[in-house]
Amino acid sequence: MATALFIIDVQVDFCEGGALACEGGALVAQKITQYLAEHRGSYDYVVASRDWHTPDSENGGHFPPQGIEPDYVNHWPLHCIANTHGAEYHANLDSSLIDIHIKKGQGAHGYSIFEGTTESGESIQSVISRLEIDQVDVVGIATDYCVRASSLDAIMEGLKVRVITSLTAGVSPVSTEAAIDELVDAGVQVVAKA
């Protein structure tokens, strides 16, 4: 069986200066690159997701209807629009270290990596099965949204899951703490450092 690192949504729009920035996002991107430089041998595969929202679409309600302000709960400001700078990996993340690229949120909310596909259209579930991945470490942005959703879905898929919190950035301390409690309750191992 194989072990993978899931890097969730380390994108320009989720880091400082982006459309939906998390404080500490750029530093997390840098720290993930440093971590991989030291620990690449610990993983058989490195899999990274990106929000890749469809232009000129509400993306299944992820973006509010025109003229309505986002509520930051059910819908969000425009971010990570496919083929824009904001959707690219942050420059601090060395994308040459990534083996498999997953795009999610194409016409949908797309919080979890399990809602995405590879460039060829293969589902992440198929990738996991084909590569016999049974353990994943999860890092990235945001701890309280897409890291949370991806980790919970990984548990539901029967994987052994660990979240490394020093390699994540959250939207807010309160929702991040609640997400970590939920992850622990679901059987995710949450560690500060690997």
The overall average pLDDT reported for the chain is: 96
The amino acid at residue 152 is L
Is 104 a known active-site residue?
A: yes
Which two structure tokens, joined as six digits, stand for 192? 């500060």
Catalytic residue among 9, 13, 51, 137: 9
Catalytic residue among 15, 22, 80, 146: 146
Q: Which residue has the tokens 């601090």?
A: 92
* Mean pLDDT along residues 140-153: 98
Residue 150 pLDDT class (50, 70, 90 cuts) = very high
**173-190 per-position pLDDT tens digit:** 999 999 999 999 999 999
Catalytic residue among 104, 137, 144, 153: 104
**70-92 per-position pLDDT tens digit:** 998 888 999 999 999 999 999 99
Residue 25 pLDDT class (50, 70, 90 cuts) = very high
Distance CA 71, CA 145 (A): 15
Rg of the chain taking only CA atoms, in angstroms: 15
Structure confidence at residue 74 (pLDDT): 86
* DSSP state string for 110-174: --SGGG-B-TT--BHHHHHHHHTEEEEEEEEE-IIIIIHHHHHHHHHTT-EEEEEEEEEE-S-HH
Q: Does position 163 have pLDDT exceeding 90, yes or no?
A: yes
Q: pLDDT above 90 covers what percent of the chain?
A: 95
More confident residue, 74 or 143: 143
Give the distance from CA 186 to its chain's centroid. Answer: 18
The answer to whether residues 53 and 106 touch, using CB atoms and an 8 Å cutoff, is yes
Model confidence, pTM? 0.96
Is 31 a known active-site residue?
A: no
Structure confidence at residue 122 (pLDDT): 98
Domains of the chain plus CATH, in order, are 2-191 (3.40.50.850)
Q: Which of 11, 44, 190, 39 is nearest to 128 (CA)?
A: 44
The answer to whether residues 45 and 99 touch, using CB atoms and an 8 Å cutoff, is yes
Q: At what angle do helices 148-156 and 173-186 cross, to 10 degrees?
A: 10
Residue 194 pLDDT class (50, 70, 90 cuts) = confident
Structure confidence at residue 81 (pLDDT): 96
Phi, psi of 125 (to 5 degrees): -60, -40
Q: pLDDT above 70 covers what percent of the chain?
A: 100
Q: Does position 1 have pLDDT exceeding 90, yes or no?
A: yes
Is 103 a known active-site residue?
A: no
Q: Which residue has the tokens 């997953």?
A: 102
